[in-house]
A and B are shown apart, each in its own frame.
Chain A
Amino acid sequence: MRVSGIAFMGGAASRLLPASIPFRFFGAAAAYQLLAWIALLAGASDVPRFAGGLGWPLAALHLATLGVLVMTAMGASLQLLPVATRRPVAAHRWPATIWWLYTPGVAAVALGMGLPAPVLLAIGTVVVGVALVAYAVLLARNLLGASGMPVVIAHGYAALAALVVALVTAVSLVCAYLGIPLFERSSALALHMTFAAYGFMGLLAFGLSYVLVPMFALAAAPDERRARLSLILAVTALLLAAAAAAGVAPQPLRIAAVGTGAGAVVLHWRLMNSALTTGMRRSLGRSVTLMKFGWACLAASLAAGLGIACDVPFDGTAALFGLLLVAGWLLTFLLGVLQRIVPFLASMHRAPGKRLPPTPSSLTAERPLAIHFACHLAALALLVVAIVAGNPWFAAAGALAGGAGAVAFGSFLATVLRRMSLPDVPAGAREASVG
């Protein structure tokens, strides 16, 4: 039996999560990106010497991590991990329910931190925690019995374990604000930062990169053995950092953790660089420039972490570390990935057409992305200057530049969604227009 192209594409689409699922996560992430920069502007006076504590800089940090990074990671992983695991997401209702819990929960956490209002923060933490546990269960169900790409699956498991540590320590930190001490604050804080950023988000980014970057570059799958070694080093670094946070030889173990983590990063970077330089598609534009910038900031964050471990006499070390780790590495890398996969997923999700789905290049919006690129990098540069010079005015200027970039990124996303809803172009007409 011959099945028509239209019917076949319909069958493919039906096995994907509905487009509304990943795109609601991406849309919320775009909105929270803008809110993160607004919160940073509100707390600009405290940014250059920020080292923790309730206030708008902490709210900005969590709008970026929970609101943008984790929000996008959930949408992207639920869509892309089944490609690596060769297993579909079991229940389509779960992701939508998670979004409805998680999105207002993040707002409550951010408002609770910014105002500050510890009770609101606690309520938000519970809601976000429930949503993340549900996401972890969904992810674990997909990973269990998966048959594809063992190293990607191993990264998924390691990220889930790190998420558990990040959640437990988050509860401990919030309880401390309510006057209910659970774990010693500095230990909980060190564990929370390390396992949330390098652990959960970082390992998820590393694992998905082994699928995404070769796919972008049209390169062969990365060397499984080296990828596994990178993961082993990364997990070892996390365990060393955990032991240091627990008070076991703190300085030597922190330094060892940075060194081991650097080994993991070098191996990962070499695998990514190999994919980018050997792939069939060499010109990857701004998205890969942002990803490379993110990797450079990851290395720089380890250097700043070493500065903290060695008690470098500079008041802005903690702020610089946080900036490089969250905005420099994770946010920049993720925005680079997102601007490439959003048009791609939109093309995959587009309702079956007459002959061809719309091409990713016909769905994207280059001008907003160019504005976002310039504004985002300017924002990071201004924030580095603000921290180094201890000058809040540069922090405010950085927040404004970042906010402008976030508006441009939102415009890009809106354009892709609008173009997704346009009628199909017949294949012949497209060929004619391409020439």
Chain B
Amino acid sequence: MNAHVSGRRWVAADGIHIDVRGLSPPDPLVAILELVGSIGDATPVIVHHERDPRMLYPELAEIGWTAERITGEPGEIRLKLERAT
């Protein structure tokens, strides 16, 4: 059985969104990497987080993705993840 950590997901014009707020570590990390790993094209991933996911960046770098902070709701950390070009 594989680990499956969901997080709420939806698709919008700017990419695939995932909301990992309320999950305990390391579930947000796992949920985001599961989603990123399932994307075969250049579709960006928008992450809705409640804190700065420091542990995520080395993992993203390892698979050639970048993180960029974008404007989110108050108290939210919102990230745009994209394949490095």
A2 x B29 contact (CB < 8 A):
no
Interface residue? A4 (CB, 8 A):
yes
Interface residue? B76 (CB, 8 A):
no
Q: How far is the CB of B21 from chain A (nearest CB, A)?
A: 12
Cα-based distance from A83 to B84 in the complex (angstroms): 26
Task: State which of A83, A361, A427 has its C-beta within 8 Å of the C-beta of B54.
Answer: A83
Cα-based distance from A235 to B24 in the complex (angstroms): 24
B3 x A218 contact (CB < 8 A):
yes
Q: Which one of B61, B62, B68 has the highest number of Cβ atoms from chain A below 10 Å of its Cβ? A: B61
B24 x A221 contact (CB < 8 A):
yes
Cα-based distance from A109 to B11 in the complex (angstroms): 61
Q: How far is the CB of A104 from chain B (nearest CB, A)?
A: 32
Instruction: Output the nearest chain B residue to A8 by Cβ-Cβ distance.
Output: B69
**Chain B positions within 8 Å of A219 at CB level:** 3, 26, 30
Q: For chain A, what secondary structure do more than half of its interface residues adopt (helix, strand, loop), or is it mixed?
A: helix
**Chain A positions within 8 Å of B52 at CB level:** 11-12, 15
* Interface size of B as a range: 20 to 34
Count of A interface residues, CB-CB < 8 Å: 44
Known contacts being A220-B3, A220-B4, A278-B1, is A214 close to B85, with CB within 8 Å?
no
**Chain A positions near chain B (C-beta within 8 angstroms):** 1-5, 7-9, 11-12, 15-16, 83-84, 86, 148-149, 211, 214-215, 217-221, 275, 278-280, 344, 347-348, 355-361, 427-428, 430-431, 434
**Chain B positions near chain A (C-beta within 8 angstroms):** 1-5, 23-27, 29-30, 33-34, 37, 51-52, 54-55, 57-59, 61-62, 64, 66-71, 79, 84-85
Extra inter-chain contacts (15) besides given A9-B67, A347-B61, CB under 8 Å: A5-B69, A8-B69, A15-B52, A83-B55, A148-B24, A149-B24, A218-B33, A218-B59, A219-B30, A221-B25, A221-B26, A348-B54, A348-B58, A358-B61, A360-B58
